[in-house]
């Protein structure tokens, strides 16, 4: 073999016969050999039988070799260089200490990479060695010296994505095949692999079709307490029991008891003590409580920093929670039975979304019930004191209908202060007319008059029936805007039957009159029928008649007034309890939980009190720290043509926050809306300081690679061999001359003839 000219060889057939012919010859020879051996079955001596059979087999093989003409092909070849990727983790977890009181993981990774430079240079003889760093994405690295300019700050680590991109390749060498990779990382993946690959991730690793050698950077056993995650639904129901489960890791603190606090608005809501049993395994801590308010809130699970921790920033985790109403809790009290009371009570009672508590007086002190004692009139007396002093704040809306505050049966007057405080604190009140309502009930001399949006007059109620008129404000207000256009709403309200009578009152400045008398007026104002107002944090609705039940009937069979009557009260309740869809100022966040420094998109939509877009409104956005109430950011800007303002902001400091948006027009407040924001304490990269050797070992096993925590063994890293590409010359040489095969065949045949004659065969 000419070594300088030819550097590779292989066995070939130099026969002029095609492969199918050679196959046919082989079959014929095997059959012939089989028949000849069968003929020896009569030989009783085993030695003779084996000798003759061996001679015939050697003859058959030589005959086939004669036909096959085996040869040696000498070739001048070259190996095409495949790609080998070296990946160095630059995610934020690499900035953590590699060992207690030691250098960082990234510094250790740099030291390993530089110490392995001779190995990389050796690999370069047969492979194209590509250098990369990875975190959120794979980035080329010009040289190992360039590592000094790479900060380990990426907010996430996508190891599987980096390997897939490395296989695809980047730049001019992307067409070369992928032979494998060497990865220097702590294994703190927080994307598809996480703590262990699932079935899809395993399939993706096997699809790399190349061995991956993983090198663990960092030592196991670091002492650290971290809130791994919090299991909670996106929303909860007010006044309903809710369980939040926090998962805690505490490696290095086995046997220690840790206090775990659940906080909201800077105060500790509840606490639990956790006995650490398994540091690396997440331990569950349950908090059970009942939210007492609706809205958006940011809660925080927190563990005080412990001595000797690797990192304290992951001891707290904030998360958002939206508290909504399961069912609207309504209280309905009436002074007299009436058709209006019956219809309204039936509507509230039949609504599955309303939890109703109701009571009404069937008689007064002048009525003779024909009974011996009052005990015969009621099995359980209505608990007025408990309801209006102790339980009043558990109701979302209170209906007071045709009830004189001087009613001696219930002594309603003693509870008016509680009702007023309830409304100012954020409650909702509906006051409806009747023979004992408003001025006739002498409420003008009570504290309740201060929160009502109307002032009674000395005039007696109107007795004549009238057709309720939709006011300009009512055309845009969500309670009375039943149809999609002003004309359609007007036509619906005009089709309703008349109402029998109304109290004569005057709307207070700032109140919203959405329905009024079509022609009866006092002091230049039409007598109001439905008036809305606000008192403190609460809302008040007054219906100055007891005839709205008549809206449920109509002579026009083509229009369902019963449907409108239900919608009117359903929308009224939604407005009273401040349904977010019906508020003049609406604040929307594109996300309610984010990482430090992540962008947050905010949209504020502002409408006037008549619910038309506030095109020239001034909008104030305020961000406050929910822990201490400190204002973090406040800015003002003008709304756009549709009354909408869009902003983007970033929050670097972790913790719970409140975002409040206020609208102003001509110096007057249009209302406000608020939401909650949770900024994670450390981001996913630093939420768990532990290295993950198990994950790296599984990656190596799935891909046929090598797992190492000792970089000195990297020379053993398996790689797919490059493909051989033949170039230059080649030459075929027979392994033996055909005469040799003929001679062997002749000798075997002669030996068999001699032996057969000697042994007495014919």
Q: Does domain 82-220+691-722 have CATH number 3.40.50.410?
A: yes
| Confidence (pLDDT) at 365 | 46
User: Strand 707-708 vs strand 212-216: parallel, antiparallel, or unpaired?
Assistant: parallel
- Does the predicted TM-score (pTM) go above 0.85? no
Residue recorded with tokens 């300009």:
472
Choose among 353, 350, 347: nearest CA to 552.
Answer: 347
Confidence of residue 1 (pLDDT cuts 50, 70, 90): very low
Token pair of 580 as six digits: 């977010």
State yes or no: pLDDT of 42 exceeds 70: no
Contacts of 712 (CB under 8 A, 6+ apart): none
Residue recorded with tokens 């927080």:
190
Spatial distance between the Cα atoms of 75 and 446, rounded to a whole number of angstroms:
112
Residue recorded with tokens 């929160």:
451
Token pair of 555 as six digits: 């002579």
Spatial distance between the Cα atoms of 180 and 209, rounded to a whole number of angstroms:
8
List 260's β-bridge partners, or say none: 272
State yes or no: pLDDT of 672 exceeds 50: yes
Spatial distance between the Cα atoms of 47 and 36, rounded to a whole number of angstroms:
17
Q: Please state the separation of Cα 37 from the chain's center in Å.
A: 77
Q: What is the DSSP letter of 188?
A: -
583-685: CATH superfamily: Macroglobulin (MG2) domain (2.60.40.1930)
List 515's β-bridge partners, or say none: 470, 530
| Confidence (pLDDT) at 188 | 85
Average pLDDT of the residues in 208-216: 93
State yes or no: pLDDT of 429 exceeds 90: yes
| Confidence (pLDDT) at 686 | 66
**Are the beta carbons of 436 and 334 closer than 8 angstroms?**
no
Among the residue ranges 184-193, 471-480, 722-731, the one predicted with the least confidence is: 722-731
Does residue 31 sit in helix, strand or coil?
helix
CATH topology of domain 330-361+380-581: Rossmann fold (3.40.50)
Average pLDDT of the residues in 245-267: 89
For the chain, give every domain's residue range: 8-78+728-758, 82-220+691-722, 226-311, 330-361+380-581, 583-685
Q: Which CATH architecture has domain 226-311?
A: Sandwich (2.60)
Token pair of 254 as six digits: 């086995």
The helix (H) or strand (E) run that includes residue 184 is strand 178-185
**Are the beta carbons of 641 and 654 closer than 8 angstroms?**
no
Spatial distance between the Cα atoms of 395 and 428, rounded to a whole number of angstroms:
9
Choose among 522, 526, 542: nearest CA to 459.
Answer: 522
Residue recorded with tokens 């509840």:
270
Average pLDDT of the residues in 517-542: 90
Spatial distance between the Cα atoms of 81 and 98, rounded to a whole number of angstroms:
35
Q: Please state the separation of Cα 179 from the chain's center in Å.
A: 37
Q: What is the dihedral of CA 702, 706, 711, 716, to 10 degrees?
A: -160
Average pLDDT of the residues in 692-701: 91
Residue recorded with tokens 């502002």:
606
Among the residue ranges 255-264, 420-429, 735-744, the one predicted with the least confidence is: 735-744
Which residues of 374-475 form beta strands (DSSP E)?
397-401, 428-432, 454-456, 462-466, 469-470
Average pLDDT of the residues in 483-504: 82
CA distances from 599 to 587, 593, 635, 647, 685 (A): 17, 11, 17, 10, 18
Contacts of 251 (CB under 8 A, 6+ apart): 221, 222, 223, 224, 279, 280, 690
| Confidence (pLDDT) at 660 | 93
Whether 82-220+691-722 and 583-685 share one fold: the answer is: no
Residue 62 CB neighbour total at 10 angstroms:
19
Does residue 390 sit in helix, strand or coil?
helix
Does residue 79 sit in helix, strand or coil?
strand
Does residue 245 sit in helix, strand or coil?
strand
Among the residue ranges 8-22, 165-179, 191-205, the one predicted with the least confidence is: 8-22
Torsion sign over Cα 302, 307, 310, 311: positive
State yes or no: pLDDT of 390 exceeds 90: no
Q: pLDDT by residue (tens digit) across 555-580?
A: 444 445 557 788 889 889 988 988 87
Choose among 88, 87, 107: nearest CA to 97.
Answer: 107
Our CA angle for 652, 654, 660, nearest 5°, is 80
């Amino acid at each position: 073999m000419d070594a300088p000219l030819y550097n590779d060889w292989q066995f070939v057939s130099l026969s002029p016969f095609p492969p199918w012919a050679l196959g046919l010859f082989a079959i014929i020879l095997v059959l012939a050999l089989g028949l000849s051996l069968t003929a020896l079955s009569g030989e009783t001596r085993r030695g003779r039988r084996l000798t003759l059979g061996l001679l015939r087999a050697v003859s058959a093989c030589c005959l086939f070799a004669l036909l096959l003409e085996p040869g040696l092909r000498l070739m001048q070849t070259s190996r095409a260089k495949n790609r080998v990727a070296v990946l160095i983790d630059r995610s934020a977890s690499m900035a953590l200490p590699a060992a207690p009181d030691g250098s960082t993981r990234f510094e250790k990774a740099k030291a390993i990479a530089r110490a392995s430079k001779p190995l990389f240079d050796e690999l370069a003889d047969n492979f194209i060695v590509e250098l990369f760093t990875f975190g959120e994405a794979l980035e080329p690295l010009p040289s190992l010296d360039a590592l000094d300019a790479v900060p380990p700050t990426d907010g996430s680590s996508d190891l599987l994505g980096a390997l897939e991109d490395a296989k695809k390749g980047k730049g001019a060498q992307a067409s070369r095949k992928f032979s494998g990779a060497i990865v220097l990382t702590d294994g703190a993946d927080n994307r598809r692999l996480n703590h262990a690959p699932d079935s899809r991730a395993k399939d993706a690793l096997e699809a790399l079709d190349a061995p991956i050698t993983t090198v663990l950077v960092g030592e196991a056993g670091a002492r650290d307490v971290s809130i791994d995650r919090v299991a909670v639904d996106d929303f909860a129901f007010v006044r309903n029991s809710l369980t939040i489960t926090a998962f805690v890791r505490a490696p290095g603190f086995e046997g220690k008891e840790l206090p775990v606090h659940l906080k909201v608005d800077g105060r500790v809501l509840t606490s639990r003590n956790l006995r650490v049993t398994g540091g690396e395994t997440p331990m569950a801590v349950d908090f059970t409580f009942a939210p007492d308010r609706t809205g958006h809130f940011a809660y925080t699970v927190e563990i005080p920093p412990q001595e000797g921790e690797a990192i304290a920033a992951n001891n707290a985790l904030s998360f958002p929670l939206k508290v909504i109403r399961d069912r609207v809790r309504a209280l309905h009290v009436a002074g007299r039975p009436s058709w209006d009371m019956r219809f309204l009570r039936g509507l509230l009672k039949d609504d599955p979304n309303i939890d109703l508590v109701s009571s009404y007086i069937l008689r007064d002190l002048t009525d003779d019930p024909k009974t011996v004692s009052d005990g015969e009139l009621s099995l359980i007396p209505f608990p007025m004191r408990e309801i209006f002093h102790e339980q009043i704040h558990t109701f979302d809306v209170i209906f007071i209908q045709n009830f004189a505050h001087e009613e001696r049966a219930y002594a309603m007057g003693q509870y008016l202060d509680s009702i007023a405080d309830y409304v100012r604190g954020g409650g909702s009140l509906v006051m409806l007319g009747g023979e004992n309502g408003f001025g006739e009930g002498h409420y003008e001399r009570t504290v309740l008059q201060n929160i009502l949006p109307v002032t009674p007059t000395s005039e007696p109620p109107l007795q004549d029936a009238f057709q309720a008129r939709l006011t300009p404000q009512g055309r845009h207000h969500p309670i009375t805007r039943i149809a999609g256009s002003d004309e359609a709403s007007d036509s619906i309200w005009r089709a309703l039957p008349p109402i029998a009578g109304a109290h004569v009152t005057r709307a207070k400045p700032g109140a919203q009159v959405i329905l009024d008398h079509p022609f009866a007026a006092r002091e230049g104002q039409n007598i109001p029928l439905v008036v809305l107002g606000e008192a403190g944090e609460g809302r008040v609705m007054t219906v100055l008649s007891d005839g709205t039940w008549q809206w449920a009937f109509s002579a026009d069979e083509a229009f369902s007034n019963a449907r409108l009557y239900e919608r009117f009260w359903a929308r009224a309740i939604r407005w009273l309890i401040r349904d977010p869809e019906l508020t003049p100022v609406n604040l929307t966040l594109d996300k309610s939980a984010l990482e430090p420094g992540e962008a947050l998109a905010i949209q504020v939509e502002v409408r006037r009190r008549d619910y038309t877009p506030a095109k020239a409104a001034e909008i104030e956005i305020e961000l406050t720290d929910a822990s201490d109430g400190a204002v973090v950011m406040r800015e003002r800007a003008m709304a756009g043509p549709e009354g909408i303002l869009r902003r983007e902001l970033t929050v670097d400091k972790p913790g719970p926050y409140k975002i409040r948006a206020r609208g102003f027009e001509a110096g007057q407040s249009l209302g406000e809306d608020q939401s909650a924001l949770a900024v994670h304490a450390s981001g996913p990269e630093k939420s768990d300081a532990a290295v993950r050797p198990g994950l790296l070992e599984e990656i190596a096993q799935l891909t046929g690679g090598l797992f190492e925590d000792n970089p000195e063994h990297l020379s053993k890293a398996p790689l797919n061999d490059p493909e051989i590409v033949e170039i230059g010359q080649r030459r075929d040489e027979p392994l033996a001359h055909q005469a040799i095969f003929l001679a062997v065949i002749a000798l075997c045949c002669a030996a068999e003839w001699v032996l057969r004659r000697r042994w007495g065969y014919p």
